[in-house]
Amino acid sequence: YRRDGARYRAGVSWLAYLLAVGTGCESLLITMSVMFAKPVPTVSPFLLMVLIVLSVLVYRARGNVARILRMD
């Protein structure tokens, strides 16, 4: 993401941060449960669907979360 002439939007920044933290924590939870031989928590198909959609949107926006949330 290039900041040439773009304005800083705190709300979008926080949403991007929460999206990164949420998905990172979910992957850490699964990794830690595998490492310590605990039962892997079941992942809801709805959570999986949301994560796939979000990852596709982020990929198409080339990492620019503000572009995903833009309402033009």
Domain definitions of the chain by residue range: 10-69
Query: Which residue has better confidence, 46 or 36?
Result: 36
pLDDT in tens, 39-52: 766 766 667 777 77
pLDDT value at 61 more than 80 = yes
Which DSSP letter does residue 44 get?
Answer: P
pLDDT in tens, 14-33: 777 877 787 787 777 778 87
pLDDT value at 71 more than 60 = no
Nearest to 61 by CA among 5, 7, 16: 16
Instruction: Determine the straight-line distance between the first and last CA of the chain, rounded to whole angstroms.
Output: 19
Q: How far apart are CA 14 and CA 48, in angstroms?
A: 22
Query: pLDDT value at position 45?
Result: 61
